[in-house]
Structure 1
Amino acid sequence: MVTTARAAGLRDYPALADELGGDGAALLGRFGITVAAVTNDEAIIPAESIGWALEAAATELNCPDFGLRLAARQDIDVLGPLAVAVANAATVGDALEFASRFVFTHNGGISVGLIEDPEGEPEAIGLEYRDTAAATGFAQGAGLSAGTIHKVLRQVAGEDYGLLSIHLPHPPVAPKSLYIEYFGAPVVFDSPYVVFRIPAEMLARPIAGSNHTLRTISVDYLNRNFSDQDHTMSARVRVAIEQLITTAKPDIATVARMLIMHERTLQRALAAEGTTFNDVLDGTRRDTVYRLLRETDLPMSQITALAGLREQSALTRVVRRWFGVTPQQIRNSARAQHGSPTGIRVQPVSRE
């Protein structure tokens, strides 16, 4: 499945490339992107094409900070209707909640959410940005995205909003001083994801100049026009649980914090979709256990721990409930299928 993104994310790309001595239109054209597309608020293009276009410009124009430079030139209006909702939220926390819910309208492969501070400071939190294209090694794309988030935070929380440090998911491809100058804070490289370490109190800050009417109109527009099934609340909760399940306790409080919403709001949203947090957790845990049993040689005790279960007997009970067989039978079936067609075919047991 091709992940798509709004071409407006490259809006100032042609002009910047031209200023650096290149041919911006030709560079974009090499990846199937037209200048008309990047100036069109409605144009959608493959997200991967954006990543390659940025990398090509950085390499061929000898500009290792191309992504950051592009972010510096752009206004948050490149985010389309999401920009209106964010800029007119009541508080910074509300703005980040809108971003978490609707960032897929800008790029279908990215997510934004709150996490515990990666450095363990009790009065700090992390704003984490994930991109499915990160595995391709698009450092310029990470720079553009991080730079854009920085501009959004400065607009809604103040020019000096208190950034403690930023973590980036790649080694420095430009002099480290350029990153420090742009973000005005220490920079940590080679992290798993982009993370902005910010003061926890920032979430309660009111946004100066926010307009309730504009906020209502923009959020209503986003709700009516971007109700893609892939972005239901249950799907978002599942993604959050998958991020947590093998490393931390995926309870509702932690997931709600990641999604930047109150627990009761999360429960109501799931109820409106005919499910509960425990149902989503159970399904995610089921699929994780099945994958670990079939695709790894981890001991049963370790799978038990990774699934968040206390005892191996509990693993046996839930696997029997889910699939009607034992954990070892699932593992044996997978091994048999590699060399013999005679394996147990396991199908989930109906929970009705």
Structure 2
Amino acid sequence: MGVMVRAAGLRGWATLVRDLGGEPGALLSGAGLAANALDDEDGLLPARAGMHLLEASAVALDCPDFGLRMANAQDPTALGPLALVLQNTPTVREMIETTSQYLFVHSPALRMGLHPAGREFPGHVSMQFDIVLDPRPPARQTWDLGLATAHRVFSLLVKSRYRPRAVLLPHSPLAPLSRYVQFFETNVYPERAHGALIMHEKVMDASLSDVDDTIRKIATSYLETHYSAPGDSTSALVRSALSRVIGTPQSTLEQIAQLLALHPRTLQRRLAAECASFEALRDEVAKNAAYQYITETSLPMSQIADAVGLSEQSALTRACKRWFGQTPTALRRQPH
């Protein structure tokens, strides 16, 4: 069956398609989805098909900001049973941590987490949004929808205390950058390693209003009883850690082992027990990162080589021939 997503994640899609002069049935069929696939918001559909539907809709309707427009139909209730928990968490930090813990209820293909924003944004944190499909299909509209929905949910729940310092896009936007600035009302930086909302550290301790602790406990108990979290294997943990540091000195076996509080030999033994190896996982993460940079950004190939931990552009060319059977330039020229 593959990785699924709740149909509520595409709330507003059919209305937007019609408003733009399109025919929902034809686009659904082109994505391999039934005509009634989105009728039940609690229904499940293949995540890849949903992503393809967004990309195909943007192209067919000549609407490069399709994902941003769709976000206007989203609110916390689109997250189904998770919404009650989020609306009743005491602080913004707990809301993000709870979303990170239970986002798999909406779709295991999506991941969200809180990380330091680094030297570029001192005193700030980065709320990163990631797509964890391998291989990952073209995802510009999915990135935009995910970041824009998170922005909208924060605006609705945290109100005036939420104002992002910046927004990072992991692609070269097809719509004018000014459209993103208009939507997010802040600086927007394309072609970054991760999709993220950058917020001041102080916002994390802001309290949400009208919180009911009893409702939160009941809703949390419901999630724990009815939904089993997908167990993270050692391979999955290593893959997730590498995706955050690929191309940096921290992407070594020793550094990742330290991050996971394991001895390097212990980490190797656990990976071997799963018929995996650190080198193969690092190669896989580098491959996925390279594909994203090549197909969804205009970064120079030499810069992409550095970003995925390769010594020089010629190394990227050799790797791409091994990964994709063609050079980086040929891959970039293909329609995606």
What's the TM-score, normalizing by structure 1? 0.69
Amino acid corresponding to residue 279 of structure 2 in structure 1: L
Equivalent residues of 2:268, 2:277 under 8 A apart: no
Amino acid corresponding to residue 193 of structure 1 in structure 2: H
1:292 and 2:279 aligned: yes
Amino acid corresponding to residue 292 of structure 1 in structure 2: E
Q: Aligned residues, how many? A: 273
1:123-134 paired onto structure 2 within 5 Å:
123-133=123-133
1:81 and 2:77 aligned: no
Q: Distance in 2 between matches of 1:285 and 1:243?
A: 21
1:37 and 2:37 aligned: yes
How far off its partner does 1:7 sit?
Answer: 1.4
Partner of 1:138: 139
Alignment deviations for residues 209-264 of structure 1 (CA, whole Å, 9 cap, x no partner): 122122111111111112134358x7875555444676445588x77xxxxxxxxx
How far off its partner does 1:122 sit?
Answer: 3.0
Amino acid corresponding to residue 128 of structure 1 in structure 2: Q
1:190 and 2:191 aligned: yes
Give the secondary structure class of the aligned counterpart of 1:112: strand
Q: Distance in 2 between matches of 1:177 and 1:187?
A: 9
Which 10-residue stretch deviates more, 278-287 or 164-173? 278-287
Amino acid corresponding to residue 46 of structure 1 in structure 2: P
Partner of 2:231: 230
Equivalent residues of 2:166, 2:197 under 8 A apart: yes
Long gaps (5+) in structure 1: 256-276, 297-352
Q: Distance in 2 between matches of 1:280 and 1:6?
A: 38
1:283 and 2:270 aligned: no
Partner of 2:102: 102
How far off its partner does 1:93 sit?
Answer: 0.7
Q: Distance in 2 between matches of 1:128 and 1:162?
A: 16
Q: Distance in 1 between matches of 2:99 and 2:264?
A: 22
Give the secondary structure class of the aligned counterpart of 1:84: helix
What's the RMSD between the two structures over aligned residues? 3.0
Partner of 2:211: 210
How far off its partner does 1:137 sit?
Answer: 2.3
How far off its partner does 1:2 sit?
Answer: 2.0
Equivalent residues of 1:111, 1:131 under 8 A apart: yes
Equivalent residues of 2:6, 2:107 under 8 A apart: yes
Q: Distance in 1 between matches of 2:164 and 2:24?
A: 33
Q: 1:26 to 1:125 in 2, by over 3 A?
A: same
Amino acid corresponding to residue 217 of structure 1 in structure 2: I
How far off its partner does 1:82 sit?
Answer: 1.2
Q: Distance in 2 between matches of 1:174 and 1:282?
A: 47
Amino acid corresponding to residue 31 of structure 1 in structure 2: A
How far off its partner does 1:201 sit?
Answer: 1.2
Give the secondary structure class of the aligned counterpart of 1:136: coil
Q: 1:279 to 1:173 in 2, by over 3 A?
A: same
Q: Distance in 1 between matches of 2:237 and 2:280?
A: 23
Partner of 2:172: 171
Q: Distance in 1 between matches of 2:104 and 2:120?
A: 29
Q: 1:100 to 1:27 in 2, by over 3 A?
A: same
Q: Distance in 2 between matches of 1:5 and 1:154?
A: 24
Q: Distance in 2 between matches of 1:68 and 1:294?
A: 33
Alignment deviations for residues 1-49 of structure 1 (CA, whole Å, 9 cap, x no partner): 7221111111211111001001123312322334533231321111111
How far off its partner does 1:158 sit?
Answer: 1.6
Q: Distance in 2 between matches of 1:216 and 1:82?
A: 12
Partner of 1:151: 152
Equivalent residues of 1:244, 1:250 under 8 A apart: no
Alignment deviations for residues 244-297 of structure 1 (CA, whole Å, 9 cap, x no partner): 676445588x77xxxxxxxxxxxxxxxxxxxxx54899426864994438998x
Which 10-residue stretch deviates more, 243-252 or 91-100? 243-252
Equivalent residues of 2:97, 2:114 under 8 A apart: no
What's the TM-score, normalizing by structure 2? 0.72
Alignment deviations for residues 136-156 of structure 1 (CA, whole Å, 9 cap, x no partner): 221011111111111121123
Partner of 1:307: none
Which 10-residue stretch deviates more, 73-82 or 145-154? 73-82
Amino acid corresponding to residue 65 of structure 1 in structure 2: D
Q: Distance in 2 between matches of 1:96 and 1:185?
A: 20
Q: Distance in 1 between matches of 2:53 and 2:132?
A: 17
Amino acid corresponding to residue 175 of structure 1 in structure 2: P
Q: 1:17 to 1:136 in 2, by over 3 A?
A: same
Amino acid corresponding to residue 80 of structure 1 in structure 2: G
Rg (Cα) greater in structure: 1
Q: Distance in 1 between matches of 2:265 and 2:114?
A: 19
1:302-313 paired onto structure 2 within 5 Å:
none
Q: 1:235 to 1:91 in 2, by over 3 A?
A: farther
Q: Give the percent of matched residue pairs that are identical in Structure 1 and Structure 2.
A: 27
Q: Distance in 2 between matches of 1:242 and 1:294?
A: 8
Partner of 2:309: none
